[in-house]
Amino acid sequence: MLVATASGLFIAIPAFFFFYMLRNRLLTTMHYLTDATVSLFRKMPYEHLKDCHVGEEEFFAAIPNWVGEEVAPAAAATGH
């Protein structure tokens, strides 16, 4: 009976270690990708995409509320 318990612990402890190690690596990668995506959206030239057309469809791109204060003065200064 103790042999089964010992062999179960022998398998379970390294399995938990590798599970948490891989989970933390995945969470770190997901955090990095989320930061990169947010950075790309914050650098998007929304003022240049305003009246763009893609094929026969009109491409609606408005300045999001969270960048309205940052982009609006730059667009006013360039005359857009």
Decide if 63 contacts 46 (C-beta within 8 A).
yes
Q: Give CA separation, 75 vs 2, 11, 13, 31, 71, in Å.
A: 74, 62, 59, 32, 6
How much is the pTM?
0.52
| pLDDT mean over 73-77 | 53
| pLDDT mean over 49-59 | 67
The span from the CA of 16 to the CA of 5, in Å, is 16
More confident: 19 or 38: 19
More confident: 50 or 78: 50
Helix (H) or strand (E) holding 30: helix 2-42
First to last CA, the chain: 79
